[in-house]
Each structure stands twice: as structure tokens, then as C-alpha cells.
Amino acid sequence: MTPMMTERMGMTGMGMTGPAGMMGAPATAPTGMNMMMVPKCKMTFEKCAGGMKVTCVCEDKVSAGMLQNLCTMMAGGMCSCCMMMNGMMACCCNLMMGMCKCEMTEMGVCMTCTSGDKDCCAMIQACCDCCTAMMKAGCTCCMMMGGMPVCCGC
């Protein structure tokens, strides 16, 4: 343990053992950050009959293949678009009100989310408008399937 860690652990009470206040070993071993690389792509949002269409286009075949594999693995999970600015989530559109389909394209994927219900269609298209406006304002979009990021783009 470094002196700074010992000092902080003593201040918060973590790692204390018994009434004497002696320092003990932490209860669990520190773990590394849980990170995953996702492909970067150019994303476009457009309204379509019954909902919206999100097109993700990668710059190279390797990124496109990774995106396609992630989408294939996560097929059937709920789709969502999280709009990020300066590392903070500004908005998250969960597309739970429609049926989302993912089709492979030459350099990425095309995600279509539609509903036969008039009100659900209106909500999906409102999400499309929101995502389009936030991307124009400088946000980055992280598209997720089943809560797992599959691509990020601007």
C-alpha cells in the first residue's frame, strides 16, 4: 500500500480492524477497470415509415467486422442510443417501444426500429429528432444493444 492509500483508508474507516484502529488488509483485492473497445463510425438518423433508421458506417473493414459481430452477438437485446458530451451522458433514448432489426451493410450496420402502434411510432420518431439535434450540437452517440455498447459515432 502507498502512504496516500493508507491515509485515505484510515480517514474513511475502511480496512479498520478492532477497537484499537489498526490498519488491516482491504476486504477485496483492487480490480482493473472494466473497459471494452467499440468501433468508431459515422452515424446518421432518419425517420422511416413506422419509426426510425440508424445507419452506422465504419472507415475500415476491421471496424465494420467488429461492429457486425457485436450486433450479431447482442441481437434480440433492447436497443438504445446514449448521447454523450464531454464524457457525460446528456440523453439516453431506450427504443423499447418498437421492434429493432439490425441489417449488415458493406461497411457497418443499419438498425431499424419500428412499431405498428401510432403512439409508439411517434415516440420513436421523437427519439430520432432528439438524437439528430444532439448530434448537430456536438454530442457523440453510443449505440447499445442489451446494455452493451456496440459502436460510437458522431
For residue range 21-80, what is the model confidence (pLDDT) as tens digits? 455 555 565 666 656 678 889 999 999 999 999 999 999 999 999 999 999 998 888 899
Are 71 and 64 in contact, with CB atoms under 8 Å apart?
A: no
Average pLDDT for the chain = 83
Closest CA to 30 of 17, 16, 15, 18: 15
For position 85, what pLDDT does the model report?
94
**pLDDT over 60 at 19, yes or no:** no
For residue range 103-130, what is the model confidence (pLDDT) as tens digits? 999 999 999 999 999 999 999 999 999 9
